[in-house]
């Protein structure tokens, strides 16, 4: 059974075809700069054979046509006919309170995704476009929407309500939603397996550390708190996002520099985080290299990231009433051995003990990096959002039965 996974962004379209039974990725593709200058496409097969070229994409529709052409082509194809695709799973950023689980796309579901445009203004319209173009080009193939916010919908009100006048929640839907839900769900489920397979009774903290970073507290397999908020700007300082700051800073800077809401939004999303502090880069490899050369602000940016993450982990241990496992995933969590080990320093009082000989040098594979006998297990678990989307799609449609 072949499942197509689509993740459309404002000017991009990423896709994978997964051979479901074998959990095998048959091809990975990326259409970039759709509707802007120099659009291009990369399409890579599992044996490494790759198409890479400039394209003439004006719209997402053009990109979906190009994807279909490659998927079925003699040279780069993985299928002969489109009807070999059993279902399409679409990543959708924001599902608001409407979606607590994957949804088979219908007119009502599309309407509900439209209702969430206000909270995901850059992503949701692109996600819906991807769905609509696929519906048009692949009639009869079921389309499933998988929401980044859905896993977090089990949070209790005390964790998701902001201390603003309650009417903002009631009238504008302002609350914590959380993101990276597919990743937090996937790695927490893997951690449950490593802990013995029974979700009931487990307390897990998942740390998704990438360009965007977020944490989740997962009890009995369900999310009870997460660090991102109404938008993915909240929580820890990230590559270019500021994370949690004193909210009074926003009007203060706007007045001081006479900025519009869009301008301050841009500063907080694109010019802040570890890049803003270091003035060097948003990439942790660059920060580590320059810190090692003596760049004090790169060192400060790394220290801040580690310190803020440690505080979130400790606060989630309190939210969970203890912790059985801490999981690291995504670009930094899987690869930056120093950052993840340092984030857990000072947490020995909670029973967290990292074995540096297991941690150092370990990249992008499943491992337990805690000391033998550590009360809290520390896992590195590579995330696989596409596989998780495929699994959720197949399960929702009952195709595995
Ligand atoms: P995204 O959130 O865009 O999916 P990723 O999860 O791919 O991002 O994470 C990308 C980030 O991971 C990079 O910006 C970089 O900071 C970090 N990263 C990737 N590989 C390494 C490495 N070997 N050492 C340190 N950091 C790394």
Look at residue 9 and tell me whether its pLDDT is greater than 90: no
Measured CA to CA, the distance from residue 33 to residue 94 in angstroms comes to 22
Q: Does residue 399 belong to any structural domain of this protein?
A: no
The yes-or-no answer on residue 148 being catalytic is yes
Q: Is the CB of 330 under 6 A from ligand 1?
A: yes
CA-closest candidate to residue 207, choices 230, 231, 188, 232:
188
Q: Is the CB of 348 under 6 A from ligand 1?
A: no
Residue 13 is part of which domain span?
2-147
Q: Are residues 225 and 354 in the same domain?
A: yes
Q: At what angle do helices 181-195 and 385-397 cross, to 10 degrees?
A: 90
Q: Does residue 30 belong to any structural domain of this protein?
A: yes
Q: Are residues 139 and 220 in the same domain?
A: no
Q: Is 193 helix (H, G, I), strand (E, B) or coil?
A: helix
Number of domains in the chain: 2
Q: Is the CB of 239 under 6 A from ligand 1?
A: yes
- Please write down the HEC assignment for all residues of 60-92: HHHHHHHHHHHHCCCCCCCCCCHHHEEEEEEEE
Look at residue 122 and tell me whether its pLDDT is greater than 90: no
In the set 148, 225, 324, 336, the catalytic residue is 148
Q: What is the CATH number of the domain that holds 112?
A: 3.30.420.40
Residue in 237, 328, 332, 382 to alter for ligand 1 test, most ligand atoms within 8 A of Cβ: 332
Q: Are residues 138 and 224 in the same domain?
A: no
Q: Are residues 230 and 374 in the same domain?
A: yes
Q: Does residue 13 belong to any structural domain of this protein?
A: yes
pLDDT bracket for residue 368 (50, 70, 90): very high
Measured CA to CA, the distance from residue 373 to residue 353 in angstroms comes to 9
Q: Are strands 50-54 and 40-45 parallel, antiparallel or unpaired?
A: antiparallel
Q: Are residues 245 and 358 in the same domain?
A: yes
Q: Are residues 25 and 121 in the same domain?
A: yes
Residues of the chain above pLDDT 70, percent:
100
Q: Does residue 236 belong to any structural domain of this protein?
A: yes
> Which residues touch 143 (CB under 8 Å, ≥6 apart)?
87, 88, 90, 104, 105, 131, 134, 135
Q: Are residues 262 and 124 in the same domain?
A: no
As a whole number, mean pLDDT of residues 281-300 equals 98
Gap from CA of 335 to ligand 1 centroid (Å): 7
Q: Does residue 192 belong to any structural domain of this protein?
A: no
Gap from CA of 330 to ligand 1 centroid (Å): 7
Q: Are residues 98 and 208 in the same domain?
A: no
Q: Is 224 helix (H, G, I), strand (E, B) or coil?
A: strand
Q: Does residue 162 belong to any structural domain of this protein?
A: no
Instruction: Please name the residue that has the structure tokens 């997460």.
Output: 226
Q: Are residues 228 and 141 in the same domain?
A: no
Instruction: Please name the residue that has the structure tokens 């389309």.
Output: 143
Q: Are residues 229 and 106 in the same domain?
A: no
Q: Are residues 106 and 226 in the same domain?
A: no
Measured CA to CA, the distance from residue 5 to residue 8 in angstroms comes to 10
Sheet of 222-226, strands arranged across: 222-226, 213-219, 203-209, 325-329, 377-380, 367-368
Domain end call among 147, 181, 205: 147
Q: Are residues 365 and 253 in the same domain?
A: yes
pLDDT digits (tens, 9 = 90+) for 175-211: 999 999 999 999 999 999 999 999 999 999 999 999 9
Q: Is the CB of 332 under 6 A from ligand 1?
A: yes
Measured CA to CA, the distance from residue 185 to residue 206 in angstroms comes to 9
pLDDT bracket for residue 10 (50, 70, 90): confident
Q: Does residue 260 belong to any structural domain of this protein?
A: yes
pLDDT of residue 120: 84
pLDDT digits (tens, 9 = 90+) for 51-91: 999 999 999 999 999 999 999 999 999 999 999 999 999 99
Q: Does residue 206 belong to any structural domain of this protein?
A: yes
């Amino acid at each position: 059974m072949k499942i197509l996974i689509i993740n459309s962004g404002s000017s991009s379209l990423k896709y994978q075809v997964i051979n479901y039974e074998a959990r095998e990725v048959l091809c990975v593709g990326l259409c970039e700069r759709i509707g802007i200058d120099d659009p291009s496409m990369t399409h890579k097969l599992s044996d490494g054979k790759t198409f890479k070229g400039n394209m003439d994409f004006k719209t997402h529709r053009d990109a979906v046509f190009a994807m279909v052409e490659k998927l079925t082509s003699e040279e780069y194809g993985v299928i002969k006919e489109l009807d070999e695709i059993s279902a399409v799973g679409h990543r959708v950023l924001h599902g608001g309170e409407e979606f607590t689980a994957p949804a088979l796309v219908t007119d009502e579901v599309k309407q509900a995704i439209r209702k969430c445009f206000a909270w995901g203004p850059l992503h949701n319209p692109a996600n819906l476009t991807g769905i609509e173009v696929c519906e048009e080009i692949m009639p009869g193939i079921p389309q499933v929407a998988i929401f980044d916010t859905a896993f977090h919908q089990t949070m209790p009100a005390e964790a998701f309500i902001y201390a603003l006048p309650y009417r903002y929640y009631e009238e504008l839907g302002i609350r914590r939603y959380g993101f990276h839900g597919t990743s937090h769900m996937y790695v927490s489920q893997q951690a449950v397996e490593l802990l013995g397979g029974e979700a009931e009774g487990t307390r897990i903290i998942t740390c998704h550390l990438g360009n965007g970073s977020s944490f989740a507290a997962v009890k009995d397999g369900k999310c009870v708190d997460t660090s991102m908020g109404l938008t993915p700007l909240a929580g820890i300082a990230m590559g270019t996002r500021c994370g949690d700051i004193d909210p009074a800073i926003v009007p203060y800077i706007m007045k001081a520099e006479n900025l519009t809401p869009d301008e301050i939004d841009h500063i907080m999303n694109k010019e802040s985080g570890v890049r803003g502090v270091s003035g060097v880069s948003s990439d942790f490899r660059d920060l580590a290299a320059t810190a090692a050369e003596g760049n004090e602000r790169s060192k400060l940016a790394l220290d801040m990231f580690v310190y803020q993450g440690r505080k979130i982990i400790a606060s989630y241990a309190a939210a969970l009433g203890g912790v059985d496992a801490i999981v690291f995933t995504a670009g930094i969590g899987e690869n930056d051995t120093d950052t993840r080990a340092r984030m857990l320093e000072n947490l020995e009082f909670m029973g967290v003990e990292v074995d540096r000989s297991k941690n150092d040098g370990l990249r992008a594979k499943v491992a337990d990096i805690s000391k033998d006998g550590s009360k809290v297990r520390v896992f590195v678990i590579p995330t696989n959002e596409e596989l998780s989307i495929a699994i959720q799609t197949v399960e929702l449609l009952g195709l595995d039965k």
